[in-house]
A and B are shown apart, each in its own frame.
Chain A
Amino acid sequence: MAGGGGGDELKLLGMWASPFALRVRIALSLKGLSYEYVEEDLKSKSELLLSSNPVHKLVPVLIHDGKPVCESRIIVEYIDEAFSGDGESLLPADPHDRAVARFWASYIDEKMFTAWMPIFAAKTEEEKAEATNRTFEVAETLERALRECSRGKPFFGGDAVGYLDVVLGGFAAWVYAIEELFGLKQFDAARTPLLVAWLQRFVELDAVKEVMPDSGSLVELHKARQAQAAAAADDDDDEAN
């Protein structure tokens, strides 16, 4: 139902380092849709963001003809349904395949993202090792998911990139950044060979290259945040004295 009568004005509120915003950018890119991108300063959120997503006040938010859609997975499905005539379908056609894709998408957000957080927060080598092991368990589970969904083809979606590729792929730049920051390969050739090959293929896609941030910039961002947090902590210590 593309190009419905003079409408189809798209605006995306995002943040350059957000893997969730990246999912939406990739989806829009795959569908060949034009949109206005608005970079949000998350320390000083715009009126538009606060009024478009009053419940969570988070990016990404897709505003389509003035109507906001929130939550990255929901936005990706929305794009697929509202612009079903543009580009390839992101969700598979078969109801069971769709259910499997949604199941794994939910798993990724429930388990993978939360498994990463302790790595960033780890203060000791022991904490880091424990957190790392948990991420390996998740990666190995996703390797099985990829085998199940791809059925020997290059992507979770089969021959072409689909919904689940986009959901996982939003994290692609951070996978590289984590390797650089912590020496931790999320996907490695011994444990998760399919995912290694998948990631290489995914980041080579034009639709992804157009919008993916450089992992070096993410590394710099993390270091800057750490420095700010350390400075704030020092200030607190000074005050305590």
Chain B
Amino acid sequence: MDDPVKLIGAFGSPFVHRAEVALRIKGVAYEFIHENLDDKSDLLLAKNPIHKKVPVLLHGDRAICESLVIVEYVDEAFAGPPILPADPYGRAMARFWAHFIDHKSSRPSWLALWLDDGEEQKGFLKETKENLALLEAQLEGKRFFAGDSIGYLDIVASGLAHWIGVVEEVTGVSLVGDEYPALRRWSKEYTSDETVKQCLPSREHLTTIFAGKKEKLKTAARMMLQQ
């Protein structure tokens, strides 16, 4: 497929990172279209009318939305090293844990980080610790979730490898402590991978962003609690 590839994204988004890593693993050249999420472009609204979010992958005249859908698309549409394993059971397991990260684990960890001290925050912290223990067990002595090299679940979990550390520093809340040696080792492996480094926003830059939005994010977390 020689159709041009473009990625609509925003700096600092862990979801956009997922799409970029997948493209780079496959060696696909792409144009990055930088989106200002406070003033969304006609292009974004046209290509992702349902959710109006980044990332959006444009491949020729096709638009693909939702980071997990994009990663699977990239795996299937382009030649190169496989991102998902070949065997159906391995694929089902990778998808299961990806769904766990996005749907079960992310909300409590976000709330544990951004809520003020109190009963609720402690509750979410406890839940997060349990979720992290499950992910720790999934690594079970492997270098990456996928084995010897980066795969689908590593890409999906990348927020844990890099973004979480920044937010821990900004908020002073520790999530991925010493009781998760496998996750901590995996984080270093993931963030020092040559392909990943090409599309990983710097810690310094992310710290500036999160520190700058600290009050806004704390307010948003309190509102999230009402939902």
Contacts and interface: CB of A to CB of B under 8 A. Distances in A.
Contact of A96 (B59, B68, B88): B59
Contacts of A64: 89
Contacts of B29: none
B95 A106 contact: no
B85 to A, nearest CB: 11
Interface centre among A78, A81, A103 (most CB of B within 10 A): A103
Interface string B124-157: 0000000000100000000000000000000000
A209 interface: no
B86 to A, nearest CB: 10
A103 B88 CA distance: 20
Contacts of A81: 88, 91
B132 to A, nearest CB: 13
A44 B134 CA distance: 24
B99 A95 contact: no
Interface residues of B, number: 23
Contact of A77 (B65, B69, B70, B92): B92
Given A69-B92, A82-B89, A98 B99 contact: no
Interface residues of A, number: 24
Is the contact region of chain A dominated by helix, strand, or loop, or is it mixed? helix
A99 B88 CA distance: 18
A123 interface: no
B62 interface: yes
A71 B72 CA distance: 18
A69 B89 contact: yes
A43 interface: no
